[in-house]
Structure 1
């Protein structure tokens, strides 16, 4: 069958493109064109950035130690040193407070390591190179937060598994068991937003030292470390209402029973508050870091 005029013209255009100097072959015409600012592009590019970060963290020994090994060893240490004393003072196993506390500690220290990596990418110019590509401008920050949520979830699973080997149990059914895995994600989102904003500050701000001090204070002054009643009376309201204590009380109630609504709402309020306060500094700082080189 003889070729039509349109087919001959299409082949001629293809040969012309293939013969253009500097081009080894002709690329096919795109079948769809989407704006760089569309939601579909944001999801696709954020997913790619998330995968890149997860792969990098999985290959980084420091990240794996801080996110998995350090929390697990801390859990064992607390169980050996303070477990029996807290159990005798409260009347219930200390593991129901220690495991939720260590889950949150793993989320916090993992975010600190991630923030150090973000600063390294800024100083090396990697963020600037990403900024010159035809990608959604929010994909870098959104993808980083997505990766943080995946990391917190995996860390939580590992710590809960280690806790079950030491006596931790889910006694309230499937619904509370699933919800207990959501609480660290809520807490981790707010904390990750704060640390990301701090990591994008200009200059050589002592990020690790500052955030590590905050994490240490929160770790030793919460309702999972020792009961609130063990603290001085003037300090008890602060300890009972700080963000870690609210999340710990929620997870403990979901695991062994007790009031859930009040500590859960406080946890959500803390997380939403941190996101509201630090989202603009994080966005502005991330953009400034990407544009500085």
Structure 2
């Protein structure tokens, strides 16, 4: 045996002895379809989306800055008129209304991001990875819930500066903050289902029309009695009005149980109707993108 071969054998034996002396960490794997993998992968997807939104100035303005500025605009222009007409501080209805509007507009931004991922092929590439199939959609909904929470807290903070208060205690305050989150998740499911089948600007046009209708025909602006008699029942029972009345009851005071139950029924109904189309549409979009 030559000197080179002898040296190579000695080096390999030394490496083998060293490797056996090192305690390598045990590799733990989770089954791709397990609940633990679903939770972990959903959180990873959630962080990915939140990081992308935070790095996009347009998204930050649309979901955080715009609602706060809109609240100040409504307060400057309409607060005194609405308060004198209704006999109650208008700020409670305005804050509640704008947290819901922010939840809906943010869902549209998220849906547009989904369509971008589909067009660029990112959705398909993620679909081929060994991750839980439901993680993409649930991670998106988790990110939506966190975004709505942050936006709601910012709108409420601005509202505090101009007269909004939690007059019903801390538990009622937590309940109030939870309503926009539930409302936003339900609306996000609806928009996601729509985004999987719409093309071009159709998504923005449809959701924009719906958002404007809900914005101008709800109990956040004025009392239900201010609308024409033939329209009052529709305005009173539309989802935004139910949520606004529940939030006003949890902050200023008033009925809570009935409007809260109506809100939960609306959210549950939307998820029940559009949940399956959203899941199937997401799957088809991912497979087609891939």
What is the TM-score of this pair, normalised by structure 2?
0.90
Do the aligned partners of residues 164 and 29 (structure 1) sit closer, same or farther apart at CA in structure 2, a change above 3 Å counting?
closer
Q: Which moved more, 1:129-138 or 1:65-74?
A: 65-74
**Structure 2: unaligned runs, 5 residues or longer:** 1-11
Structure 1 residues 46-69: Cα deviation after superposition (integer angstroms, max 9, x where no partner):
000000000000111121111111
CA deviation map 1:87-131 (0-9, x unaligned): 011111100100000010111101111100100000100000001
Task: Please give the alpha-carbon distance, in whole angstroms, between the structure 2 residues aligned to 1:100 and 1:167.
Answer: 13
Offset of residue 82 of structure 1: 1.2
**After superposition, what is the alpha-carbon deviation per residue over 1:181-226, rounded to whole angstroms, capped at 9, x for unaligned?**
1111111111010011111115436101110110011011000022
Q: Hey, what's the Cα distance between the residues in 1 that align with 2:27 and 2:112?
A: 40
Secondary structure of 2:194's aligned partner:
helix
Match of 2:215 in 1: 219
Q: Which runs of 4+ in 1 moved over 6 A?
A: none
Match for residue 156 of structure 2? Answer: 160
* Alpha-carbon distance, 1:31 to partner: 3.1
Q: Find the counterpart in structure 1 of residue 80 from structure 2.
A: 84
Cα separation, 2, equivalents of 1:111 and 1:31: 38
Q: Does 1:95 align with 2:91?
A: yes
* 1:266 pairs with 2:258: no
* CA–CA separation in structure 2 for the residues paired with 1:214 and 1:87: 27
Q: 2:186 maps to which residue?
A: 190
Q: Which residue of 1 aligns with 2:238?
A: 242
For 2:235 and 2:35, how far apart are their aligned partners in 1? 41
Aligned-residue RMSD, C-alpha: 1.6
Distance 1:205 1:73 in 2: 26
Give, in angstroms, the shift of residue 29 of structure 1: 8.0
Q: How many residues align?
A: 271
Shift of the 229–202 alpha-carbon distance from structure 1 to 2, 3 Å rule, reads: closer
Cα distance between partner residues in 2 of 1:181 and 1:268 = 14
Confirm whether residue 290 of structure 1 aligns to residue 282 of structure 2. no
CA distance in 2, matches of 1:69, 1:185: 18
Residues 27-176 of structure 1 aligned to structure 2 (within 5 Å)? 31-176=27-172
TM-score by length of 1: 0.89
